[in-house]
A and B are shown apart, each in its own frame.
Chain A
Amino acid sequence: MRAFNYTRADSPAAASQAAQVEGAKFIAGGTNLLDLMKLDIETPAHLIDVNHLGLDQIEATPEGGLRIGALVRNTDLAADARVRKDYALLSRALLAGASGQLRNMATTAGNLLQRTRCPYFYDTHQACNKRNPGSGCSAIGGVTRQLAVIGVSDACIATHPSDMAIAMRALDAQIETVRPDGSTRSIPMADLHQLPGNTPHIETSLMPGEFITAVTLPAPVGGTHIYHKVRDRSSYAFALVSVGLILQEDGTGRVAVGGIAPKPWRVEAAEALLPKGAKAVSERLLEGATPTDDNHFKLTLVERTLASVLAQARETA
């Protein structure tokens, strides 16, 4: 861990302004950033502490939705009665992630911005275009069982590890931000995370210094909500594949998938095929996939997991 400057911001706009400095990073729960700093993967020169900005409330919106402050802790968000009732997918996805201790610290915005768990990204002896742009990707051709099968490039095959983000994507969340000039905007969840292309180190559409203040959920869409995270052990592991499903009584619904791509993977044209069943949805969802020998099984696993959650949803409904 390198030495760094530490400041506390006193408003979101001030935080955004302060973060224009070269090498600046926001720190909230620190559950990911501090680990990466200890490993010399993240080397921020400035940390801007945003924990004291009061962004820790969950409020109803005039549109009938919820506005979740960027600093709301994962534990609190998962336990919120309104979330559990109307956005069960979000609560279930959150509780499938990390551990109780981590969820107590991890924040809503921080969860969205967490970095990949690719083991080659984590090993500073290895070439990694995310960590060291232009150095190459040592994961390609290596051990890739956990890595992405779709949305990848010749420069990077890492996955986005978040469970919460899968639910946010299925729920059509909007990301509210403030920019250094004080202006605000709202980014659809679909547009927040970027595919790697030739620039895998650029992971989101946020501008330098742009600061997430809240995540807004539209009015509840009803339906049966299921999040099934498939992994090698029962708890405290990243997904091989996770499926978030919202199924309506008429057989339509939404599907977002984790563990397979550099961003939460949702294809609206695929979920339109839900009445036709899991096979049709999966084929469309995974069109263009380029799996390796190690992770080819994820294609089958997506289809089978989706079939399973569809069956569960029909039973529940």
Chain B
Amino acid sequence: MKFDTPATTNPIDRLKVIGQPTERIEGPLKTSGQATYAYEQHEAAANQAYGFMVDSAIAKGRIKAIHLDDAKASPGVLAIVTAENAGKLDKGDYNAAHLLAGPEVQHYQQAVALVVAETFEQARAAAQLVKVDYETTDGKFDLAGVKHLGVEPKDELPDVNHGDFDKAFAAAPVQFDQTYTTPDQSHAMMEPHATLAAWKGDQLTLWTSNQMVAWSVGDIAKTLGLPKEKVRLVSPYIGGGFGGKLFIRADAILAALGARMAGRPVKVALARPQMANNTTHRPATIQRIRMGATADGKLTAIAHEGWSGNLADGKVELASQPSQLLYAAENRRVSMRLAPLDLPEGNAMRAPGEAPGLMVLEIAMDEMAERLKMDPVQFRILNDTQVDPVKTERPFSQRQLVKCLQIGAEKFGWNQRNAKPGTRREGRWLIGMGVAAAFRNNLLVKSGARVRLEQDGKVIVETDMTDIGTGSYTIIAQTAAEMMGVGLDDVVVRLGDSDFPVSAGSGGQFGGNCSTAGVYAACVKLREAVATRLGLAADQAEFADGQVRVGNQSLPLRNAAEGGALVGEDSIEFGDLAEKYQQSTFGAHFAEVAVDAATGEVRVRRMLAVCAAGRILNPTSARSQVIGAMTMGVGAALMEELAVDKRLGFFVNHDLAGYEVPVHADIPHQDVIFLDETDPISSPMKAKGVGELGICGVSAAVANAIYNATGARVREYPITLDKILDSLPEMI
């Protein structure tokens, strides 16, 4: 199905099942331990052996020798894979560094070997006996030190120069110029990267934990030199990804190689202390913001320039991108520079670009509002735009940022905020409030599905879409139930298998809207087949309550499958509506914090998100996505940082004791309000993404609240207490 004209009324608009708050249909499997995560695929293949990865002790250089004798002699060892014996290995299109080092080492804890043994404990013990001699070469590990080497990422974000920024900035009565930093961050998802691999002849099956099944089939085939048809990837349950599982990682390739060498199925999970340096992370950024405004607060000039680093073949972090679209101003400069670094690969993490970009831009907006002596909510409202500021002929398909800010301000009690920092105190606590805009583009990706009406009346949906804890199973079931006029219990959803039609996958908050739109398209096909089989006019048929009706005629849906199951398969493909209209999601975040006047400890007390993100397909799981994202935003504001050892080139705090994420006690009352919005430009579902919108701006709202509480304006995330101690009141 080609989607190239705005959606009109369709069966989804009935909202009998879709759009209703619905508990996750796979929830009981997860809470009872029956959901088969990759490492728990005990029944998938017999005679499984265990692999444990050996990782590099240096950040850059060469392996001179690997000594395997002790490990080989260790009890239970079946095979040891190294680059020397693995055969020819290519590199996946989505990987910056090789997934198995040798002889070159490209980053710290890059895999150098896999030890396969009868038990996990034997594999790990033997892995610890592998000794590697290295030749270390100098590397670049400090972004600030290599910033000047940055180049324009022409394929990803060519420089935007609209109007004449320099002139407008110079002429602006009120000017602002500040530089900020955001640190490297780790996805720190609950389930580590894990894969079980089994060969049947030259056919490879991988049970893994992966967000993008089709991409990853391609990269496994490319890396191992196999035809794609020889690779099957199964990823039904994923214990969190946040972008860290968009691509194949060492667990998948090493499991495949280990299984081939050992001649039996092998499973590999990365150990927690291996994850931060072995896999990908959100890259650190340096960002400079300049703004010029009239005395009454109209922005006339915005420049957002950023720098990030990566390995050769790695990508840039598009942190300045949101400044293309978020606020009006006739003169604009937006750019990123990508500098060479020898730290582990930087790549997508929840709302890449927008998340670190708004961490910075939305502090700058707070600072500029103060300079203008304006309320920060009003300042943002004043500078709203309903069209793409660079291509003004392109309207936003929907843009309710102003309403989000206004409703949020009212519900949160924003008028209680004292604009002068450090003036509200309750006992030992300094209290402050902060606001930030939320903004994340709505991406559209082709997505397919197959829907089958069984003889027993059940509707089976198959697609390689993944559920990374977001609720994909449920919204897909809701979509099929709505389209076919059956109850949720009559729908069975099967996900995450490369034998199923290729979907959008889970990434960039596009999965929810696009995958359900693909199911919609397949259901339209199935409805046609059903109507034809029943001898009814497909274009007039109404599917409801298990019946198919045309006029006064009504037949049970299941009758259509009496002679055998009926199948509808199709994909949603998006036309040029995204070129005619800018499609984005918007929101406003509000936070109230308390800061210990003595120690600078920050406690977030209240949070509110107001989101305008198209039709909300399932308010229960959407809320869950947003409060999870708000939690992650608090982590980014207050504690999350992969600390770089700039001498040795690695992330030092590479376990969950060192890399702190919020605990329950850090997270206060969270409220989420979804504006009633449908966006017919986006898809037949009239939905957009929401899972990443939820994190965008949160950290800045917290940062602004800390400023309001204390007067400490911290421009280097995370805002740990050592950065605000000097701004706190004198102790008696």
The segment from A5-13, A47-55, A115-123 found at the interface with B is A115-123
Can you list 5 A-B contacts (CB < 8 A)? A1-B124, A123-B652, A124-B128, A232-B720, A300-B726
A312 to B732, CA, bound (A): 12
State whether the Cβ of B549 lies closer than 8 Å to any Cβ in chain A. Answer: no
Residues 675-732 of B contacting A (Cβ, < 8 Å): 720-722, 725-726, 728, 731-732
B121, A1: Cβ atoms under 8 Å?
yes
A308, B599: Cβ atoms under 8 Å?
yes
The distance from the CB of B188 to the nearest CB of chain A, in whole angstroms, is: 13
A311 to B644, CA, bound (A): 38
Q: Which of B121, B638, B645 contacts A232 (CB 8 A)?
A: B638
The distance from the CB of A216 to the nearest CB of chain B, in whole angstroms, is: 31
Set of chain B residues within 8 Å of A2, measured between Cβ atoms? 125, 128
State whether the Cβ of B663 lies closer than 8 Å to any Cβ in chain A. Answer: yes
State whether the Cβ of B95 lies closer than 8 Å to any Cβ in chain A. Answer: no
The distance from the CB of A226 to the nearest CB of chain B, in whole angstroms, is: 12
Set of chain B residues within 8 Å of A311, measured between Cβ atoms? 428, 732
State whether the Cβ of A185 lies closer than 8 Å to any Cβ in chain B. Answer: no
The distance from the CB of A85 to the nearest CB of chain B, in whole angstroms, is: 26
State whether the Cβ of B664 lies closer than 8 Å to any Cβ in chain A. Answer: yes
B721, A240: Cβ atoms under 8 Å?
yes
Known: A1-B121, A2-B125. A142 touches B645 (CB 8 A): yes
A305 to B600, CA, bound (A): 10
Residues 142-161 of A contacting B (Cβ, < 8 Å): 142-143, 145
The segment from B318-326, B446-454, B566-574, B654-662 found at the interface with A is B654-662
B654, A308: Cβ atoms under 8 Å?
no
B728, A304: Cβ atoms under 8 Å?
yes
Kindly list 11 other residue pairs between chains A and B, CB separation below 8 angstroms, not including A117-B658, A125-B109, A308-B596: A39-B273, A119-B658, A122-B658, A126-B648, A142-B645, A143-B643, A232-B720, A233-B638, A234-B663, A301-B600, A308-B597
Known: A119-B652, A301-B721, A307-B732. A234 touches B666 (CB 8 A): yes
Residues 594-623 of B contacting A (Cβ, < 8 Å): 596-601, 603
Set of chain A residues within 8 Å of B725, measured between Cβ atoms? 297, 300-301, 304
State whether the Cβ of A76 lies closer than 8 Å to any Cβ in chain B. Answer: no
A297 to B121, CA, bound (A): 42
B721, A230: Cβ atoms under 8 Å?
yes
Main secondary structure of the interface of B (DSSP, over half): loop
Residues of A within 8 A of B (CB): 1-3, 38-40, 117, 119-120, 122-126, 138, 141-143, 145, 228, 230-238, 240, 278, 297, 300-301, 303-305, 307-308, 311-312
Q: Which of B655, B720, B731 contacts A308 (CB 8 A)?
A: B731
A143 to B652, CA, bound (A): 7
A145 to B658, CA, bound (A): 11
Question: Residue of B at shortest CB range from A138?
Answer: B648
A38, B124: Cβ atoms under 8 Å?
yes
Q: Which of B603, B663, B722 contacts A301 (CB 8 A)?
A: B722
The distance from the CB of B709 to the nearest CB of chain A, in whole angstroms, is: 16
Question: Residue of A at shortest CB range from B124?
Answer: A1
A127 to B210, CA, bound (A): 35
A3 to B57, CA, bound (A): 24
A233, B666: Cβ atoms under 8 Å?
yes
A312 to B731, CA, bound (A): 13
Question: Residue of B at shortest CB range from A126?
Answer: B648
A230 to B603, CA, bound (A): 12
A305 to B722, CA, bound (A): 13
Known: A230-B599, A238-B657. A145 touches B124 (CB 8 A): no
5 closest Cβ pairs, A-B complex? A308-B598, A234-B665, A125-B57, A297-B722, A307-B731
**Size class of B's contact patch?**
35 or more
Question: Residue of A at shortest CB range from B597?
Answer: A308
The distance from the CB of A21 to the nearest CB of chain B, in whole angstroms, is: 21
A278, B57: Cβ atoms under 8 Å?
no
Set of chain A residues within 8 Å of B125, measured between Cβ atoms? 1-3
Return the CB mask of B56-100 against A: 1 if under 8 Å, else 0. 011000000000000000010000000000000000000000000
Question: Residue of B at shortest CB range from A312?
Answer: B428
Q: Which of B273, B596, B598, B663 contacts A122 (CB 8 A)?
A: B273
Residues 105-130 of B contacting A (Cβ, < 8 Å): 108-109, 121, 124-125, 128
A119, B124: Cβ atoms under 8 Å?
no
State whether the Cβ of B647 lies closer than 8 Å to any Cβ in chain A. Answer: yes
The distance from the CB of A142 to the nearest CB of chain B, in whole angstroms, is: 5
The distance from the CB of A237 to the nearest CB of chain B, in whole angstroms, is: 6
Known: A301-B721, A307-B731. A120 touches B57 (CB 8 A): no
The distance from the CB of A296 to the nearest CB of chain B, in whole angstroms, is: 9
Residues 632-675 of B contacting A (Cβ, < 8 Å): 638-639, 643-645, 647-648, 652-655, 657-658, 660, 662-666
Name which of B597, B599, B663 has the most chain A CB atoms within 10 A of its CB.
Answer: B599
A305 to B652, CA, bound (A): 28
Question: Residue of B at shortest CB range from A298?
Answer: B722
Name which of B75, B652, B728 has the most chain A CB atoms within 10 A of its CB.
Answer: B652
Name which of B108, B598, B601 has the most chain A CB atoms within 10 A of its CB.
Answer: B598
Set of chain B residues within 8 Å of A228, measured between Cβ atoms? 599
Known: A143-B653, A232-B639, A232-B721. A304 touches B599 (CB 8 A): yes
Set of chain B residues within 8 Å of A119, measured between Cβ atoms? 652-654, 658
A123, B654: Cβ atoms under 8 Å?
yes
A126 to B662, CA, bound (A): 28
The distance from the CB of A209 to the nearest CB of chain B, in whole angstroms, is: 26
Return the CB mask of B238-273 against A: 1 if under 8 Å, else 0. 000000000000000000000000000000000001
A145, B665: Cβ atoms under 8 Å?
no
A119 to B652, CA, bound (A): 6
B598, A307: Cβ atoms under 8 Å?
yes
Q: Which of B598, B648, B666 contacts A305 (CB 8 A)?
A: B598
Set of chain B residues within 8 Å of A143, measured between Cβ atoms? 643-645, 652-653
The distance from the CB of A116 to the nearest CB of chain B, in whole angstroms, is: 12
Set of chain B residues within 8 Å of A305, measured between Cβ atoms? 598-599
Set of chain A residues within 8 Å of B121, measured between Cβ atoms? 1
The distance from the CB of B151 to the nearest CB of chain A, in whole angstroms, is: 29
A304, B598: Cβ atoms under 8 Å?
yes
A256 to B75, CA, bound (A): 48
A232, B655: Cβ atoms under 8 Å?
no
Set of chain B residues within 8 Å of A238, measured between Cβ atoms? 657
A303, B731: Cβ atoms under 8 Å?
yes
The distance from the CB of B571 to the nearest CB of chain A, in whole angstroms, is: 44
Question: Residue of A at shortest CB range from B428?
Answer: A308
The distance from the CB of B69 to the nearest CB of chain A, in whole angstroms, is: 17
A308 to B654, CA, bound (A): 33
A301, B666: Cβ atoms under 8 Å?
no
A141 to B646, CA, bound (A): 10
A3, B75: Cβ atoms under 8 Å?
yes
Set of chain A residues within 8 Å of B645, measured between Cβ atoms? 142-143
Residues 392-438 of B contacting A (Cβ, < 8 Å): 428
A237 to B638, CA, bound (A): 14
Q: Which of A120, A141, A142, A278 contacts B731 (CB 8 A)?
A: A278
Set of chain B residues within 8 Å of A300, measured between Cβ atoms? 725-726
Set of chain A residues within 8 Å of B647, measured between Cβ atoms? 141-142
A54 to B603, CA, bound (A): 42
Question: Residue of B at shortest CB range from A279?
Answer: B731
Known: A38-B124, A143-B643. A232 touches B660 (CB 8 A): yes
A143 to B659, CA, bound (A): 13
A124 to B600, CA, bound (A): 34
Set of chain B residues within 8 Å of A1, measured between Cβ atoms? 121, 124-125, 128
Q: Which of B598, B653, B662 contacts A233 (CB 8 A)?
A: B662
Set of chain B residues within 8 Å of A230, measured between Cβ atoms? 599, 601, 721
Known: A38-B124, A233-B666, A234-B663. A122 touches B720 (CB 8 A): no
Return the CB mask of B297-322 against A: 1 if under 8 Å, else 0. 00000000000000000000000000
The distance from the CB of B216 to the nearest CB of chain A, in whole angstroms, is: 29
